[in-house]
A = this chain, B = another copy of it.
Amino acid sequence: MTGGDDEGGLSSSAQEVADARGLTDLDIQAALKTFVPSGGRDEYVMFASGGHSGSVFAIGIPSMRILKSIAVFTPESWQGYGIGGPTEAVLDQGNYNGQDITWGDTHHPALSETAGDYDGEFLFINDKAAGRVAVIDLKDFETKQIVKNPFSNIDHGGTFVTPDTEWVIEGPQYAAPLGGEYASLDDYNEVYRGYIMFWKFDREAGRIDESKSFGMELPPYWQDLCDVGKLESAGWLFCGSLNSERATGGIEDGNPPFESGVSQNDMDYLHIVNWEKATEMGRNASMTESYNGMPYISIDTAVAEDLLFMAPEPKSPHGSDVTPDGKYVIVSGKLDPHITGYSFENMMSAIDSGAGSPDPYGIRVLPFDDVVVAQIEVGLGPLHTQFGGDGIAYTSLFLDNAVAKWSFGDTWELLETIPTQYNVGHIAAAEGDTVSPDGNYLVSLNKWATDRFQNVGPLLPQNLQLLDISMEHPQVIYDMAMGVGEPHYAQIIKADKLDPWQVYPEIGWDPHTQAVDPDAAMPGQERVERNGNNVEIWMTAIRSHFTPENVEIREGDNVTWHITNIERAYDATHGFALPGHNVTLSLEPGEAATFEFVAGNSGVFNFYCTEFCSALHLEMMGHLLVQP
**Bound Cα distance from A131 to B550, whole angstroms:** 20
A261 closest partner in B (C-beta): B619
Quick one: given A141-B457, A550-B185, A622-B258, are A32 and B21 in contact (CB under 8 Å)? yes
A24 CB to closest chain B CB (Å) equals 7
Q: B65 and A259: CB pair below 8 A? A: no
Q: A184 and B37: CB pair below 8 A? A: no
**Interface presence of A453 (CB below 8 A):** yes
Q: B10 and A37: CB pair below 8 A? A: no
**Bound Cα distance from A31 to B79, whole angstroms:** 31
Between-chain CB contacts (< 8 Å), 6 pairs: A24-B37, A38-B421, A52-B577, A53-B76, A65-B480, A140-B458
Q: Is chain A's interface secondary structure helix, strand, loop, or mixed overall?
A: loop
User: A residues 472-507 with Cβ under 8 Å of B?
Assistant: 472-473, 475-476, 479-486, 488, 495, 498-504
With beta carbons under 8 angstroms apart, the residue of B24, B129, B573, B605 that contacts A610 is B129
Q: A580 and B622: CB pair below 8 A? A: no
Q: B501 and A458: CB pair below 8 A? A: yes
Q: B42 and A37: CB pair below 8 A? A: no
Q: A75 and B60: CB pair below 8 A? A: no
**Interface presence of A190 (CB below 8 A):** no
**Interface presence of A584 (CB below 8 A):** yes
Q: A181 and B602: CB pair below 8 A? A: yes
Q: A14 and B37: CB pair below 8 A? A: no
A224 closest partner in B (C-beta): B618
A104 closest partner in B (C-beta): B77
**Interface presence of A625 (CB below 8 A):** yes
Copies per complex? 2
Q: B618 and A456: CB pair below 8 A? A: no
**Which of A36, A74, A316 has the largest number of chain B CB atoms within 10 A?**
A36
**Interface presence of A303 (CB below 8 A):** no
Q: B251 and A6: CB pair below 8 A? A: no
With beta carbons under 8 angstroms apart, the residue of B38, B185, B450 that contacts A623 is B185
With beta carbons under 8 angstroms apart, the residue of B3, B78, B616 that contacts A53 is B78
**Interface presence of A406 (CB below 8 A):** no
User: A residues 588-613 with Cβ under 8 Å of B?
Assistant: 588-591, 600-606, 608, 610-613
Quick one: given A32-B17, A252-B526, are A616 and B259 in contact (CB under 8 Å)? yes
**Interface presence of A412 (CB below 8 A):** no
**Bound Cα distance from A154 to B579, whole angstroms:** 7
With beta carbons under 8 angstroms apart, the residue of B455, B470, B615, B623 that contacts A1 is B470
Q: A98 and B600: CB pair below 8 A? A: yes
Q: A498 and B249: CB pair below 8 A? A: no
With beta carbons under 8 angstroms apart, the residue of B58, B472, B473 that contacts A483 is B58
A504 CB to closest chain B CB (Å) equals 6
With beta carbons under 8 angstroms apart, the residue of B10, B51, B60, B383 that contacts A453 is B60
CB neighbours (8 Å) of A584 from chain B are 52, 103, 105, 129
**Interface presence of A130 (CB below 8 A):** yes
**Interface presence of A373 (CB below 8 A):** no
Chain B proximity mask over A444-475: 1 for CB below 8 Å, otherwise 0: 00011111111111111100010010111101
Chain B proximity mask over A65-109: 1 for CB below 8 Å, otherwise 0: 111110000111111100100000000000011111111110000
Interface-lining segment among A169-177, A211-219, A294-302: A169-177
Q: B100 and A571: CB pair below 8 A? A: no
Q: B183 and A604: CB pair below 8 A? A: yes
A173 closest partner in B (C-beta): B618
CB neighbours (8 Å) of A41 from chain B are 453-454
Interface-lining segment among A196-204, A356-364, A540-548: A540-548
